[in-house]
Amino acid sequence: MEKNIIFCGVGGQGVILASKVLMETALRAGYDVKESEVHGMAQRGGSVECCVRFGTKIYSPLIAKGKADYVVSLELLESLRKIEFLSDEGTMIVNDFKIDPVPVQQGVLEYPQDIKDYLNANVNNLLIAETESVLKEIGSQKALNIVMLGILSNYLEFSEKEWLESVKVCVKEKFVEMNIKAFLAGRSLKK
């Protein structure tokens, strides 16, 4: 058994924390786990990704093209960069939210307007998540990463209790309550 998950987004959106909670959950369930992340210059407003793999025995911390079971994109445009990693049976979960890259802010390039049309037409298992109202309710944009993890949790084998245990372990104490709320809100967004 082996599951491959890519979290992607823009520097500062918190993809590392989301993958940390997933890894902790998989470890507690007795799986081998590997993950790869990006730090330093690439993080400064650039595209970021975390690859998480868990299973009986995992070697590479990176996911090969066409092998991702899930791609969870915290931003619309970023989903396009990872499409080649999704397996044919794989599921893509995309946050319906745009962050303009610098070349778009400068008017050099245009932000593609047809991303959702393209995804709907080409990705068999697709969930475009409307998280704005949920985040408003939680009262923090920063909880987006855990909301998206909550959505993903519906597709994986672990119980709600197991997930929440990991949230408690991985998140700073003063943010635990907010993140539990975020996780449950994400989890209740329909599969």
Partner 1 sequence: MKKVLLGNEAIARGAYEAGCRVAAGYPGTPSTEILEAMAHSYPEVKSQWSCNEKVAFEVAAGAAIAGARSMTTMKHVGLNVAADPMFTFSYTGVTSGFVIINADDPGAWSSQNEQDNRHYARAAKLPMLEPSDPHEAYSFTKLAFDLSEQFDRPVIVRTTTRISHSQGVVDIGERKESELREFPINPQKYVMIPAHARPRHKFVEEQLEKMREYSYTSGINRIEKGKTKRGIITAGISYEYVKETCPDDNILKIGMMWPLPDKMIKEFASMNDELFVVEELDPFIEDYIKALGIKVIGKEIIPLCGELNSDIVDSALNGKKHSNSINPYAGTIPNRPPSLCKGCPHALVFNAIKKLNLIVNGDIGCYTLGVLPPYNAMHSQGCMGASVSMHLGFEKAWGNALARKSVAVIGDSTFIHSGITGLIDIVYNGGTGTVIILDNRTTGMTGHQENPSTGKTLLGDPSPELNFEALCLACGVKRVVTVDPIEKENLERVLAEETAAEEPSVIIVKRKCILKK
Contact residues toward partner 1 (CB under 8 A) are 10-11, 19-20, 23-24, 27, 32-47, 58-62, 64-67, 77-78, 80-81, 83-84, 86-88, 90, 101-104, 106, 108-112, 114-115, 118, 122-123
Tell me how far, at minimum, the Cβ of 59 lies from partner 1, in Å. 4
CA-based nearest residue to 5, from 88, 74, 91:
91
Cβ-based nearer residue to partner 1, 78 or 182: 78
Cβ-based nearer residue to partner 1, 71 or 185: 71
Tell me how far, at minimum, the Cβ of 133 lies from partner 1, in Å. 25
Tell me how far, at minimum, the Cβ of 16 lies from partner 1, in Å. 9
What is the spatial distance between Cα 79 and Cα 92, in angstroms, rounded to a whole number? 8
Cβ-based nearer residue to partner 1, 86 or 129: 86
Burial class (CB in 10 A: 0-12, 13-18, 19+), 116: middle
Residues in the chain: 191
Cβ-based nearer residue to partner 1, 3 or 20: 20
Tell me how far, at minimum, the Cβ of 94 lies from partner 1, in Å. 13
For residue 136, which phi and psi values (nearest 5 degrees)? -60, -45
List, in order, residues 6 or more apart from 96 with CB less than 8 Å away.
76, 116, 128, 129, 130, 131, 132
